[in-house]
Amino acid sequence: MIAPNKDLAKPATFDVRVLRQAGPGRESKWERFRIPYEPNLNVISVLQKIARMAKTAAGEKTAPVAWDCNCLEEVCGACTMVINGRVRQSCSALVDRLLEEKPGEIELRPMSKFPVLRDLVVDRQRMFRALERVDAWVPVDDYLDRGPGPKESQEAQEGRYPLSECMTCGCCLEACPQYTKVELTREPGETDDAFEARRQAAHDGSFLGAQAISQAVLFNDHGTGKMLGDERMEALMGPGGVHACGNSQNCVAVCPKEIPLTTSIARAGRQVTVYSIKKFFDR
């Protein structure tokens, strides 16, 4: 990692352009804010300043920008957005670095692959649903005392650990050419449940994406988790499964957790092949 260039002249202020949208289906517009420069700011502290000012660079009153965050230390996955054209976590986006990349201005946009709820807040339900599609869990009998889990080598643990750091942030999906937005609007008179069912069906037919494929691999690597291997293979083979990946490798380049996503995808592809051959002969 390169230390921020401390010699670069620091501006007195810098501008932040935010793509704003009041709600789903509403049109979006850019708004510009002017922030006094301080050392060691990140995008979250900039958004906090905007919330306190609630005024545009032109001095007009405006509503504070809505955004998502929780941990502020790049571990919860909440604060993903597109910053200067690149998808990333806003809590770990340091202003000094961003201004080095592009002096004078920072541009913030919501992710484009998920429905916008407001401003920079998007709805990522589809990612959590994808975890259900691939049975991303270990099927234990119960939560009683049955001694430890399966013994595991250091090597196996070191293989599983990076995959289990996935924080469902969505960077990999934003960057993926095969992952396209699914956005439904409610029909007049449609109930919550009916809308939810329609949405789930739409999600279930769409591409799983690198995040969920990698989670399927993670659970296939666990002694007990692999007992659901066949079910996971069915999901990976089905509509929106691993075959939909075009292997462009964009996902792995943007994952903030440096998860070896393309390795996971390749492994999932091989597991699917083996499984379909087995299934063919078992008929």
**Residue 179: CA count within 13 A, CB half-sphere:** 28
Q: Binding partner of residue 172 among ligand SF4, another protein, ligand FES, none, CB under 5 to 8 Å per kind? A: ligand SF4
Work out whether 255 is an interface residue with ligand SF4 (CB under 6 A).
Answer: yes
Work out whether 258 is an interface residue with ligand FES (CB under 6 A).
Answer: no
Alpha carbon distance 265, 271 (integer Å): 10
Work out whether 11 is an interface residue with another protein (CB under 8 A).
Answer: no
Tokens 């291997």 correspond to: 229
Q: Binding partner of residue 59 among another protein, ligand FES, ligand SF4, none, CB under 5 to 8 Å per kind? A: none
> Would you say 41 or 256 has its CB closer to ligand SF4?
256
Helix (H) or strand (E) holding 44, with range, is helix 43-53
User: Which residue in 72, 117, 182, 202 binds ligand FES (CB under 6 A)?
Assistant: 72
> Would you say 126 or 257 has its CB closer to ligand SF4?
257
User: Which residue in 41, 91, 169, 217 binds ligand SF4 (CB under 6 A)?
Assistant: 169
Q: Considering the complex, what minimum distance in angstroms separates the CB of residue 106 from another protein?
A: 15
Q: Considering the complex, what minimum distance in angstroms separates the CB of residue 44 from ligand SF4?
A: 17
Residue 223 near residue 152, CB atoms below 8 Å: yes
> Would you say 76 or 156 has its CB closer to ligand FES?
76
Residues composing the chain: 283
Work out whether 91 is an interface residue with ligand FES (CB under 6 A).
Answer: yes
Three-state SS at 28: strand
Residue 14 near residue 35, CB atoms below 8 Å: yes
| Closest to 39 in 3D by CA, of 63, 16, 5 | 5
Helix (H) or strand (E) holding 217, with range, is helix 209-220
Q: Considering the complex, what minimum distance in angstroms separates the CB of residue 277 from another protein?
A: 28
Binding map of another protein across residues 220-239, x = CB under 8 A, - = no contact: --x-xx--------------
Listed in sequence order, the residues at least 6 apart from 99 whose beta carbon sits closer than 8 Å to its beta carbon are 8, 11, 14, 106
Work out whether 74 is an interface residue with ligand FES (CB under 6 A).
Answer: yes
Alpha carbon distance 98, 17 (integer Å): 13
Work out whether 245 is an interface residue with ligand SF4 (CB under 6 A).
Answer: yes
Residue 71 near residue 90, CB atoms below 8 Å: no
Query: Sheet harboring 105-109: ordered strands across?
Result: 28-36, 13-21, 105-109, 80-83, 86-89
Give me the residues that bind ligand SF4 (CB under 6 A), please: 166-172, 175-178, 210-211, 214, 245-251, 255, 257, 259, 261-262, 265
Question: Which residues of this chain interact with ligand FES, rule CB under 6 A?
Answer: 69-72, 74-79, 89, 91
